[in-house]
Amino acid sequence: MSQSNTKQQILDVLKFAQDQVRRLIQNHPGFYPLYTDQGKWKHDKPAWTRWCDGFLPGMMWLFLESATADEPDFWRSNAEHYSAALEHRKEDRDVHDLGFIFYHGTYKRWHAATLRDRRPDHKLQDVVVRAGQVLAMRFKNNGQYLRSFISDESLFIDIMMNVPVIFYAAKLTADPGLMRIATQHCLTTRRTLVRGDGSTSHEGIFHLQTGQFLRQTTHQGYRDDSCWSRGLAWSLYGFGTCYELTADPRFLNTAEAHAQFYLEHTPAHGVPPWDYDAPQDGRLSITQPDSSAAAIAAVGLFNLANLATDRVRALAYRDAALRIVQTLAQPPYLAIDDPNWEGILRRGVYHIHKGLGVDESVMWGEFFFVEALTKALAVLS
Ligand code: GLY
C-alpha cells in the first residue's frame, strides 16, 4: 500500500474511533467502562480493580492533539468534563494506576492543550504533580519498589507505565526524594521482573521484613515463569518513557531488550498471543491474541524509534510499529464490519483466568490504539 493510501486508511480508522466513542458517551453519559461483554460496554461483570477511567477522556484529548477531531468543540468540552470528574482520584491510595489516569489519560494532556491554546493553566499541572506524590507513597523501603494494589509484598510490571508520573512530579517540584523513589522502582523492576532474554514476569513477591526478593509470580499470565504479552508491552513502553524523562541509559537498554523479544517472538502481522508461553489448545490457548498488547507495543516502538541511538534499530522499530497499526486497522481486529459491536478494537483480553473481558474490546486497548494511530499519522506526514 502506498504511503498516501496508508495515511488515508489511518484517518478513516480515527474517524471510526470517534464514531464509536461518540456512541458510547451518548448512549451511556458519565460512564467509564473497562471492557465489553459480547461487544457491549454496559454489563454487570466486575472490574477487579478501577484503573481505566482516564482512557476515555484520553482518547478525546488524542483526537484534539492530532488535529483529527471531527467536532473539536464537542470533543474539547467532553474531554474537560470527563477529565474533571476524575480529579479526586489524585488522592486515591488504593490503586497503583495514577500514571494511567493523570499522566497518560487526562490532566497532563489537558495542561498541554492549554499550552497549545497559549492560555496556560498551571493548576492542571498541579493535579498531575499531586498524583505523582500520592503514587510515591506506595514505596516500600524494604525492597525498594512501589507496591501493587494487591498487597505490600507485591510488585507489578504494570507499574512501569505509572512511574513516569513520579518522575514528572520530581522534575517539576525539584524533589530529590521523588526522583530517588522513581529511579529505585525502575531498577528493582529491572533486576527482579526483567529476564535475561528480554521477557518479563508479571509480579514479584518480596519478604516484607528483609526486603529480599523471593519469586516471580503472575495473576494475568499463563504461568509464573511465562511471558504475559501485555506485561511485556507495559514494560517496553514504560522503560522507554522513563528513559525519555531521565536520559538514564539503563532504562533505554531495558526497553530495547523488550523490543527485541517482541520482534523475535511475535507473528509477522505484529499481534502477540495473550501469553507467549500459553499452551496450544484449550481455554488458555496461544491462539487467543491480545490486541491491546499489540497497541501498547506499537506506541512503545514508535517512541523507541525516536530514542534509539542506532539508526538501523530505530528504523526496525518504526517499521514494526507501522506493521502492527496496519494489522489492527482492519478486521478481525477493527470492529468496523459489525454495527452491533460497540468497541473500536476487538480481540483484547483483560483477565483470562477470571473470565473477564476475554476476546473483547478493552478500554486501554482502545486508548493505546488511538495513540498508535496518531503516532503513525505523524510518521507518515
Ligand atoms: N491491570 C493492568 C492490566 O490488566 O494490564
* 297-351 confidence digits (pLDDT tens): 999 999 999 999 999 999 999 999 999 999 999 999 999 999 999 999 999 999 9
pLDDT of residue 261: 98
Reported as a pLDDT band with limits 50, 70 and 90, residue 4 is confident
User: Which residue has a Cα nearest atom 1 of ligand 1?
Assistant: 158
CATH number at residue 84: 1.50.10.10
Q: How many domains does the chain have?
A: 1
pLDDT confidence tier of residue 2, bands split at 50, 70 and 90: confident
Domain that holds residue 21: 3-380
pLDDT of 22 above 90? yes
Residue nearest to atom 4 of ligand 1 (CA): 350
Answer whether 158 contacts ligand 1 (Cβ < 6 A). yes
pLDDT in tens, 345-379: 999 999 999 999 999 999 999 999 999 999 999 99
**Banded pLDDT at 233 (limits 50, 70, 90):** very high
> Which ligand 1 atom is at minimum distance from the Cα of 158?
2
Q: What does the pLDDT read at residue 318?
A: 98
**Ligand 1 pocket: which of 35, 48, 49, 51 to mutate (most atoms within 8 A of CB):** 51
CA distance 314 to 306: 7
Q: Is the CB of 109 under 6 A from ligand 1?
A: no
Q: How confident is the model at residue 60 (pLDDT cuts 50, 70, 90)?
A: very high
Alpha-carbon dihedral 102, 106, 107, 110, rounded to 10 degrees? 160
Burial degree of 73 (CB within 10 A; 0-12, 13-18, 19+): exposed
Interatomic CA distance for residues 250 and 12, integer angstroms: 39
- Is residue 255 scored above 90 in pLDDT? yes
